[in-house]
Amino acid sequence: MSDKTPVRDFATDWDHTDPRWVNDPYPIWEELRERCPVAHTDRYGGGWFPATHAGVSQVAKDTEHFTSRTVVIGNGRPMEDAPPAPIGVAPPITSDPPFHQIARRLILPAFAPGPVNAMEPAIRALCVKLLDRMAGQEIVNGGSQYAQFIPPAVISRMLGFPDADEDLFREFVHIVLEGIDHPIEQRIEEFAPVDEYFQAQMEDHRLHPRDDLTSYLLNVEVGGQKLAPEHVSGTMVLILVAGIDTTWSAIGASLWHLASHREDLDRLVNEPELMPIAIEEFLRFYAPVTMARLVKEDMEYLGCPMKQDEWILLGFPAANRDPAAFEDADTFIIDRLENRHIAFGLGIHRCAGSNLARLEMRVAIEEFIKRYPRFELADPAEVTWAPGQVRGPRNLPIRILN
């Protein structure tokens, strides 16, 4: 990333990995909304970025003009007949209609409120365990000691991987997430051990079926047929990629906010019933995820001459700060009652794991502030934010106050 030319004008040359965008994208988006609401770049083979709520919404719901064949911006483009798993296909996020609906309906029941809410005691116990491990430290890391541990453990448990593989699984998460924009050949190579592990887990689940998502995916039938093994492993990859740094970013950003806004921390500590509404405002204000689509054919769209296979980056976090859609859009209001945010996207690709993400956020924040009702950033300058399409604090040193 360091060898890239710095961006001079985000309206004509945007780059979501530019340090300015990574560190504080909100002023950039505000300027775009006023000056050039659909920005363009020649980078990555060409791409567009609508900065308004209206523009993002329109594209997110439009599966006729845009394809989800790939949703992560890179320099290459997958072919129409992209190879199946391990990487090419992660259904349903990389699926278009009509297959999309079939693949999505398969996984939705696992992420519906019933099964998700049943996980609350286990998530709470995990958070307590992590907090116990940090006991006695004056400075704790809200990222690398806390937020980063929660989603991998939850996802690993959902998939039914052995607890003993916790460290191995976190290593896989690292491989998958860090290499997300590597060239396809390199990616296949990097991915081999992860795929091998998934294959071994699938085999173990075939021999010893149990009540978890892996067994479910192996046994579920569509039209009297079990899923192809690539479909099963592709969905496992999706759950791993989509369920982990997204949620840890959301937990981390919420802790970052509370560490730097004493009045909001005090309110949450004193009015715990505010939590569900506060969670929605954390999601609106610090929405971690942007997703990409590809333009299907040359066309005039949103007033722009879009070319086939150009990217369009859906800035859900930018839409969430659009004053045309939200009152006082740039103000964090912890008890904001009307909050039609789109942190989880819109339309048929709405984040399938949103109930789980909210639960993890709520429990993680509840337990943290219960243990530590007063804390602050140890050094704001030390906080680093992850670049790319999932943004959240990675290094988050927090000083515990008495």
Partner 1 sequence: MRVSIDAELCQGHGRCFSLAPSIFGFDDLGSGVVRGDGTLSDDDLELARLAQANCPEHAIFIEEES
Query: In angstroms, rounded to a whole number, what is the distance separating the alpha carbons of residues 387 and 295?
Result: 24
CA distance 81 to 271: 53
Q: How far is it, in rounded angstroms, from Cα 278 to Cα 337?
A: 9
Nearest distance in Å: CB 299, partner 1 = 25
Query: What's the min distance (Å) between Cβ of 37 and partner 1?
Result: 20
Chain centroid offset of residue 275 CA: 21
CA distances in angstroms from 193 to 72, 178, 239, listed in the order given: 22, 15, 17
Give the shortest CB-355-to-partner 1 separation in angstroms. Answer: 6
Segment near partner 1 (CB under 8 A); pick from 20-28, 80-88, 343-351, 368-376: 343-351
Q: Where does this chain touch partner 1 (CB under 8 A) — which range of 86-94, 240-248, 339-347, 365-373?
A: 339-347
The footprint of partner 1 on this chain (CB under 8 A) covers a number of residues equal to: 22
Question: Tokens in use for 272?
Answer: 């715990």
- φ, ψ at 311 (rounded to 5°): -80, 155
| Options 172, 344, 372, 385; binder of partner 1; rule CB under 8 A | 344
The least distance separating partner 1 from the CB of residue 253, rounded to whole angstroms, comes to: 19
Give the x-and-dash track for 98-117 against partner 1 (CB under 8 A).
Answer: -------x--xx-xxx----
Q: Which of these segments, 4-12, 25-33, 217-225, 336-344, binds partner 1 (CB under 8 A)?
A: 336-344
Taking CB under 8 A as the rule, does residue 62 contact partner 1?
no
Residue 186, CA distances (Å) to 33, 62, 175, 240 in order: 37, 32, 12, 19
As to burial, measured by CB atoms within 10 angstroms (0-12 exposed, 13-18 middle, 19+ buried), residue 91 is buried
CB count within 10 Å of CB 55 equals 25
Nearest to 246 by CA among 151, 382, 326: 151
Of the candidate spans 23-31, 161-169, 221-229, 332-340, the one that interacts with partner 1 by CB under 8 A turns out to be 332-340
CB of 332 to partner 1, least distance (A): 17
| Closest CB 231 distance from partner 1, rounded Å | 19
Annotate 275-305 with DSSP letters as a single string. Answer: HHHHHHHHHHHT--B-EEEEE-S-EEETTEE
Q: Tell the smallest beta-carbon distance from residue 109 to partner 1 (Å).
A: 5
Per-residue contact string for residues 244-283; x = within reach of partner 1 by CB under 8 A: --------------------------------x---x---
HEC states along 217-254?
A: HHHCEECCEECCHHHHHHHHHHHHHHHCHHHHHHHHHH
The reply to whether omega before 86 is within 30° of 0 (cis) is: yes
Give me the least distance between CB of 192 and partner 1, in Å please: 34
| 297-326 positions binding partner 1, by CB under 8 A | none
Binding-site member from 186, 340, 370, 401 for partner 1 (CB under 8 A): 340
Q: Which stretch binds partner 1 (CB under 8 A): 32-40, 241-249, 288-296, 350-358?
A: 350-358
Residue type, position 202, single letter: M
Phi then psi dihedrals of residue 299, to 5 deg: -165, 160
By CB under 8 A, residue 339 contacts partner 1: yes
CB of residue 274 vs partner 1: minimum separation in angstroms? 13
CB of 137 to partner 1, least distance (A): 35
Judged by CB under 8 A, does residue 167 bind partner 1?
Answer: no
Judged by CB under 8 A, the stretch of 33-41, 92-100, 331-339, 390-398 that binds partner 1 is 331-339
Q: What is the spatial distance between Cα 188 and Cα 173, in angstroms, rounded to a whole number?
A: 15
Tokens of 179: 């290499």
Window of 182-190, 216-224, 326-334, 353-361 that interacts with partner 1 by CB under 8 A: 353-361
Binding residues for partner 1, rule: CB under 8 A, are: 105, 108-109, 111-113, 276, 280, 337-342, 344, 346-348, 350, 354-355, 358
